[in-house]
A and B are shown apart, each in its own frame.
Chain A
């Protein structure tokens, strides 16, 4: 595109990527893609020392007891599946629910993509995607996802996880962090309104959400959206509570925004409605300084 000053600029479309329809060029692109795929696969093999399944990028590791059960064709009995996407959502669950001593870790998911930090040797001490099951009420499952799941892995993650769950009478609750910069509203949002909650639910969800529904033209993306899509299409009752916050990283005020959800969750599980400040402090660490250039 030529500008008025006589320079030529490349024009990018916000809707579509360039040049994905030329048959000759596709071969080269395919080769590059293949090489990237091979690189990903090689890394997974080195890291995990695992059997090769269909696709190595998203892999679920269950505890031996659960693996045995799944292998013999019995899916995980589940009446409530609570998913936390993002640091604040995960920390909220850790402080209010997982702090009570009745939870077993039954599995984790490894998600390898461009943003995974390179790990040498064994997998990182704190797996970024963990599944917990309640000891006394084993139909309640919790999953915390604090790692980045790439766009092309979202569908796969959701399918793999829900494939392990028995879907009858299942209720899904998703807590998801997002930035208030993504929130569109006609009235200008002053700094005081964030953080706040908005909800989105599937047609099969019969309960009342604890907060306002997400107004037009806002949408939900990422893992929360992938789960909602899956549940809508398979007629599973699901609700997403999206927390819009102006703070990047773990923050106690943002975490506390999820509190109204406790009223719903408290019906099926024991929780800690007022955790000690020490418990909170453990999860809210000051953001690591990535650079002191602007101090």
Chain B
């Protein structure tokens, strides 16, 4: 459940919520890190739940020694009131047996907080694309009917590709071959999307086909893609690297090399 870290509970009415799905390459989470770090968002609360594996660490967005020693938990909510933006960051894997419970928790929190729309940043295994999906952009989107009502024009203008439905059993022409949604490696993405459709929540999914590896470029791609729609950053600076990398992104691939090795 949501527990405020301030003296009073913050109001999220009419805010946009951006959240990651724990998915292949952790791209959604990395992209969310970029957003929180660049916009210098402040933490307003925690999602305290038994569905995530516990972890703790110092402030991953610390820019100086003063704010370095602040404890952070596996699921936290950050807000930027002037942008009417709230961001949920999830830092730990979801326990296998608790995925459904976690989805329900999220859906009920989104409902009770009154977010005007939710955007889920996610990813899917690149190697499971079919022939059509191999061509063109690796970015896809999904939108619940509730959000489609308001954002159809914006999405059309952006020229985004909707996530394709794939046949359940490729190659088989008989039987129940109605195409269905399939997001391999997306974690709770598909479940969250279908739950939101059922609950009539305005929710969008932005996902990227990728593989495990150095996913930092993927994170930038996804964050820029989101920015094209939501315009979170000012458009003045046309530099490619307008996102600020947090200090927690250091040493992603291991320690320093022992000098004696050479």
Contact = CB atoms under 8 A, between A and B. Distances in A.
A21 B195 CA distance: 12
Contacts of A18: 184-185
A58 to B, nearest CB: 11
Nearest to A205: B71
B211 to A, nearest CB: 7
Contact of A203 (B70, B97, B127): B70
Contacts, number: 150
B69 A216 contact: no
Given A33-B97, A201-B69, A202-B71, A21 B188 contact: yes
B127 A232 contact: no
A187 B256 contact: yes
B50 interface: yes
A185 B71 contact: no
B251 A184 contact: yes
A220 interface: yes
Interface string B116-151: 000000000101000000000000000000000000
A189 B56 CA distance: 23
Nearest to B65: A213
A188 B261 CA distance: 11
A228 B69 CA distance: 14
B125 A11 contact: yes
A216 B58 contact: yes
B74 interface: yes
Interface stretch (A62-70, A151-159, A266-274, A282-290): A151-159
B255 A13 contact: no
A15 B189 CA distance: 13
Contacts of A28: none
Chief secondary structure at chain B's binding surface: loop
Interface in A71-91: none
Given A15-B93, A232-B46, A200 B58 contact: yes
B183 A21 contact: yes
Contacts of A218: 57
Interface centre among B56, B188, B252 (most CB of A within 10 A): B56
A180 to B, nearest CB: 10
B56 A225 contact: yes
A183 B254 CA distance: 9
Contacts of A224: 56
Contact of A20 (B3, B99, B125): B99
Nearest to A228: B56
Contacts of A187: 256
A211 to B, nearest CB: 13
B250 A217 contact: yes
A154 B95 CA distance: 11
A221 B68 contact: no
Task: Give the top 5 A-B pairs by smallest Cβ distance, nearest first.
Answer: A155-B50, A219-B57, A226-B54, A228-B56, A225-B54
16 contacts: A11-B212, A14-B212, A15-B22, A16-B186, A158-B54, A185-B256, A186-B251, A186-B256, A188-B258, A216-B62, A216-B68, A217-B248, A217-B251, A218-B57, A225-B54, A233-B48
